[in-house]
Structure 1
Amino acid sequence: MIGNDIAFDELAYRRALGGFGTGVALIAAHDVQGRAHGVIVNSLTSVSLAPPVILWCLGAGCAAFEVFTSCRSFSVNILGSGDLALARQFSRRGERLLPDDRLTGMETGAPVLAGALASLDCRMRSRGPVGDHEVIYGDVASFRAMGAGDALGYFRGGYVTLASGA
């Protein structure tokens, strides 16, 4: 129920939200053994420019939930249109490890995806549960942007290319 008036239709709600096009990001963090895990999200928001703070949301059912909720640092990697296969691979259910040959590092030591359109190197600020997700806030310690290239987007249940220009 929403309030006391109407029955809640989760599928219809997802379809409604699907009308809001988003970018696609790969979040990466090390587990306690030093392995780099990745998860695809489209729930990424800039919270503040001064200081630079972002937030993203992680489903409670994510196989690497403990990795991302217990890490001290993580990277946010904005995917380009050429990263479609990577996005599909890391959006599937199950644990996903990033290959070392695709990784680099920045200030915090979190794994960073080489070749991403942009990468944000973040320190965990705070986190907390909201419904069936964990909302994770990060303080941006450093960032880099690659410049040219179209972004990978998500719209109405599918991946799309977000090209520059109107």
Structure 2
Amino acid sequence: MNISSPRAESREFDSLHFRQALSQFATGVTVITTRLEDGSFRGLTASSFNSVSLDPPLVLWSLGTSANSLPIFSGNSHYVINVLNADQAHLAKLFSRRTDDPWEGVEYELSRTGMPILKGAIAWFECHNRSRYPEGDHVIFVGEVEECAIAPQEPLIFHGGQFGKLK
């Protein structure tokens, strides 16, 4: 069931103000990874990760419609959501930039479907790319979790435009 409402009434704030208000919500940080048909890997940093359902196990994240990687993640059958630990801000920064080969020197292992799992992640979720919903200037990805693991450590936090730790 897809329920939508008419647009909200006009706003009295601009996108910069909205972005600043959103930055006050502390989130964890993830790197979403996948493998292309040619065997190469792609990854991107996302803080828009959340749970959707326990039965079936569903999670979501979102990606801007102008992102170069949108066709890759829209078209692949699987991806891995890697939840970063407090000492992995360098990975969050690395995968948030456009670079020729962000994978150089990055430690990972492969999932059962051949998707890259970042070493040191405090949790990871291997997902079947179940559905996508365009909304505004983003696409919301819903993944059905086929496998997950945890390695409890302190998480990497993003707040006020900065990476940090809980303590």
In structure 2, distance between residues paired with 1:81 and 1:162: 8
In structure 1, distance between residues paired with 2:21 and 2:100: 29
Q: 1:41 corresponds to which residue?
A: 46
Query: What TM-score, normalized by structure 1, do the two folds share?
Result: 0.88
Q: 1:123 to 1:96 in 2, by over 3 A?
A: farther
Q: 2:75 corresponds to which residue?
A: 70
In structure 2, distance between residues paired with 1:90 and 1:42: 12
Aligned alpha-carbon RMSD (Å): 2.0
Gaps of at least 5 residues in structure 2 are 1-6
How do 1:18-29 and structure 2 match up within 5 A? 18-29=23-34
- Which residue of 127, 132, 156 corresponds with 1:152? 156
Give the counterpart letter for 1:44 in structure 2: F
In structure 2, distance between residues paired with 1:161 and 1:81: 6
Give the counterpart letter for 2:48 in structure 1: S
Q: 1:128 to 1:95 in 2, by over 3 A?
A: farther
Gaps of at least 5 residues in structure 1 are none
Q: 1:86 corresponds to which residue?
A: 91
Please state how far the C-alpha of 1:137 moved relative to its aligned partner: 0.6
Please state how far the C-alpha of 1:104 moved relative to its aligned partner: 1.2
Q: 1:158 to 1:63 in 2, by over 3 A?
A: same
Native 8 Å contact 1:52 1:139 kept in 2: yes
- Is the aligned partner of 1:162 residue 2:166? yes
Identity %: 33
Please state how far the C-alpha of 1:25 moved relative to its aligned partner: 0.2
SS across alignment from 2:19: helix
- Is the aligned partner of 1:3 residue 2:22? no
Give the counterpart letter for 1:12 in structure 2: H
Please state how far the C-alpha of 1:106 moved relative to its aligned partner: 2.2
Native 8 Å contact 1:28 1:111 kept in 2: yes
Q: 1:95 to 1:8 in 2, by over 3 A?
A: farther
Query: What TM-score, normalized by structure 2, do the two folds share?
Result: 0.88
Structure with greater proportional helix content: 1
